[in-house]
Amino acid sequence: MGAAITVEGLRKEYSSRHGKVVALGGLDLTVPVGGVFGFLGANGAGKTTAIRAIVGHLRPSGGTVSVLDHEVPGQLAKVIDRVGALVEQPAFFPSFTGERNLELLARSRGFPLRRVDEVLHTVNLSERADSRFSTYSLGMRQRLGVAAVLLKDPELLILDEPANGLDPPGILEMRTLLRRLGAEGRTVFVSSHILSEVEQTADRLGIIAHGRAVATGTVREFLAGGVSRVRVRVAGGADATDAARQVLQAAGYPSTSAPDAHDDPDGALVVELAIERADEVTRALAQHDLWVRELSPIERTLEDAFLAATAEPEAGGQ
């Protein structure tokens, strides 16, 4: 088998009173088989439009989509039983229990009823299987939706913002579920704008901006790239910190205040510099009788990588 999902030159345009609106402007994306693939983008970047094209809910204006080596939408019927998608909040009967809702869905689709207990266990809802859907929290409702998708035991799961609106415990439950599903050998394609969650959940990432993919790779690759930074704190209080800033600026090492500087009366500085060259900072400060009492690397976050990948080019740039 090739890739789980292959998107080439995908375009989607809409007409409006103000003219043509381009939702996707030539999206290229390859999702390998197995693990969790995070699909990132700001609101309005085109994530949901792309997902709806991938699952055959809309016809693109151009380009091609292939799912499990089958063209979509033309060959979707041949592969639909191997794909589970949760693009919109599924409709369940509020007065029926979670178990009863899944039983009705299983019967209507011809799935074996034994799958109901299995998927309830998978999404950690066995203890609330006999509770009415109307009593479920938002997180439980989201997990029941995933359970419904799992009834067909799909190879590929496509989930659009499954953690959206959840409280911290609900987000943690969803994160644990997605990681477990990916570890089972399934391919989990999940869109999100909650960067911290994707950083802890996904194996690989694709970032979309203005309807185009601007970066793809493993989470490790994203976190390893970019400019290294070190955190510097000197002895002597706020006056010494101000003096250190001026010394570093004159020595060619511009610095900024650490994000938590307002909570620290002595302050700390952030210098864009590889940790291997940190001795240069120490030497420059020591020459002015400023003594370092903290010098530590700052790990790059997915937020840093995302902002770098989606940054608008400067005016006049190439």
Mark whether 15 and 110 lie in a shared domain. Answer: yes
Count Cα neighbours of 257 within 13 Å in the Cβ-side half-sphere.
12
Candidates 157, 205, 155; CA nearest to 185 is: 155
CATH of the domain at 107: 3.40.50.300
- The pLDDT of residue 188 is 97
Q: Is 50 exceeded by the pLDDT of residue 1?
A: yes
Alpha carbons 216 and 205: distance in angstroms, whole number: 6
- The pLDDT of residue 301 is 85
Q: What is the mean pLDDT of residues 199-226?
A: 91
Share of the chain above pLDDT 90, in %: 68
Q: Is 50 exceeded by the pLDDT of residue 208?
A: yes
Mark whether 182 and 95 lie in a shared domain. Answer: yes
Mark whether 220 and 253 lie in a shared domain. Answer: no
* Domain total in the chain: 2
- The pLDDT of residue 22 is 93
Candidates 47, 131, 148; CA nearest to 91 is: 148
Residue 279: domain span: 229-299
Share of the chain above pLDDT 70, in %: 94
- The pLDDT of residue 130 is 97
- The pLDDT of residue 264 is 57
How confident is the prediction for the chain on average, in pLDDT? 90
> 287-305 pLDDT, tens per residue?
999 999 888 888 788 988 8
Mark whether 159 and 293 lie in a shared domain. Answer: no
Residue 304 lies in a domain: no
- The pLDDT of residue 236 is 86
Alpha carbons 172 and 12: distance in angstroms, whole number: 34
Q: Is 90 exceeded by the pLDDT of residue 282?
A: yes
Mark whether 126 and 267 lie in a shared domain. Answer: no
> Is the pTM above the cut of 0.85?
no
Residue 79 pLDDT grade (very low, low, confident, very high; cuts 50, 70, 90): very high
Residue 16 pLDDT grade (very low, low, confident, very high; cuts 50, 70, 90): confident
Token duo for residue 94? 């509020």
Contact 216, 206 (CB under 8 A): yes
Mark whether 241 and 215 lie in a shared domain. Answer: no
Candidates 29, 19, 5, 52; CA nearest to 209 is: 29
Mark whether 149 and 261 lie in a shared domain. Answer: no
> 103-160 pLDDT, tens per residue?
999 999 999 999 999 999 999 999 999 999 999 999 999 999 999 999 999 999 999 9
158 to each of 106, 112, 162, 191, 242, how far by Cα in Å?
19, 22, 10, 8, 51
Domain boundary residue, one of 224, 251, 273: 224
- The pLDDT of residue 227 is 61
Contact 65, 53 (CB under 8 A): yes
> 83-108 pLDDT, tens per residue?
999 988 778 999 999 999 999 999 99
Contact 235, 291 (CB under 8 A): yes
Candidates 195, 223, 210; CA nearest to 298 is: 223
- The pLDDT of residue 317 is 47
Alpha carbons 196 and 199: distance in angstroms, whole number: 5
Alpha carbons 183 and 159: distance in angstroms, whole number: 16
> 19-62 pLDDT, tens per residue?
898 999 999 999 999 999 999 999 889 999 999 999 999 999 99
Q: Is 50 exceeded by the pLDDT of residue 280?
A: yes
